[in-house]
Amino acid sequence: MFKLSALRLRVFRRCRLRYKYQYVDRLPARPSPQDVVGALVHATLRDFFAHVAGHERDEERLIILLNERWQALAFRLGSPAEREAWRQRAEAQMRRFSHQHDLSLQPLALEAYYEVPVSERVTLIGRIDRLDEEPDGGLHLIDYKTGDRPPEVDVEQLRFYAIMLERKLSRSVRRASYFFLEEGDVWSIHPTREELAEGLTRALATAENMVGEHDFPATIGRHCAGCHYLGVCAERDKIAQLRQEEGW
Ligand code: SF4
């Protein structure tokens, strides 16, 4: 069975050479400081809703949880000055979150992992940060984003998760949202049947292309600056030259 995640789809669509490094050659990638801090913030929010009683949840409790986890990870974040800058960023995200959202609600699921067969050959897989219930009984899936908000929001990832959840739970997804924790924005869609059917058709077609791909051409652009495989990329000299010319 071919296991397809939203990340796998995104990587293939953006750069097939990166896809080869990541999913075919399975080269190890060292997590960036952003990845480390993102994982910490996700774990803090998960444990806050999972282990702190609703009436005890407040801003300071959230910061205490963050700081407890911080000690174990801080050594992976460079110099003391860099570590402090990352800590302040994470703390600001948590404080912003606590001012903007209802801390007392009880989510239906936290970081639940799903595997959902959608054809004879393809299974969708993924972990959903948080699942809430709307007042009308519909589902609201939430994905936390800890990096800077990108110029274009990835609607396909939210549809992918909605397809997975509806198939698995036999319930309607009314809303699917990104919580951009750095900016304090919430960006939502209300997926329709047609959009989810189209999203599944596209995902299955891309999975077929993944299986049939042999050349794995590179797609060079500004996204290369954040690629985990830049150090080993066959195009790194060309990319370095482009970065110098264009200043990114
Ligand atoms: S550095 Fe750019 S071209 Fe190279 S694998 Fe990564 S995304 Fe692709």
**pLDDT band of 74, cuts 50, 70, 90:** low
- Per-residue pLDDT reduced to its tens digit, 89-118: 999 999 999 999 999 999 999 999 999 999
State the fold for domain 2-12+107-212.
Lambda Exonuclease; Chain A (3.90.320)
Distance 176 CA to ligand 1 centre (A): 30
Distance 172 CA to ligand 1 centre (A): 37
Buried b (16+ CB within 10 A) or exposed e, 216-246: bebebeeebeebbbeeebebeeebeebeeee
Segment 225-238 mean pLDDT:
94
Report the alpha-carbon distance of residue 240 to residue 248 in Å, rounded. 10
Q: Under DSSP, is residue 237 helix (H, G, I), strand (E, B) or coil?
A: helix
- The best mutation among 220, 243, 246 to test binding of ligand 1, ranked by most ligand atoms within 8 Å of the C-beta, falls on 220
In the chain, domain spans: 2-12+107-212, 33-100
- Per-residue pLDDT reduced to its tens digit, 118-134: 999 999 999 999 999 99
The radius of gyration of the chain's CA atoms, rounded to the nearest angstrom, is: 19
Residue 123 forms beta bridges with which residues?
Answer: 3, 117
Give the pLDDT of residue 73.
73
Segment 69-94 mean pLDDT:
86
Distance 157 CA to ligand 1 centre (A): 21
Looking from the CA of residue 21, the nearest atom of ligand 1 is 5
State the pTM of this model. Answer: 0.92
- Per-residue pLDDT reduced to its tens digit, 22-59: 999 999 988 888 999 999 999 999 999 999 999 999 99
For the four alpha carbons of 230, 20, 129 and 200, in that order, the dihedral sign comes to positive
Pocket of ligand 1 (CB under 6 A): 15, 17-18, 21, 218, 220, 223-224, 227, 229-230, 233, 235, 239
Segment 163-177 mean pLDDT:
96
Residue 180 forms beta bridges with which residues?
Answer: 145, 185
Distance 22 CA to ligand 1 centre (A): 11
Q: Are 206 and 1 in contact (CB under 8 A)?
A: no
For the four alpha carbons of 219, 223, 225 and 228, in that order, the dihedral sign comes to negative
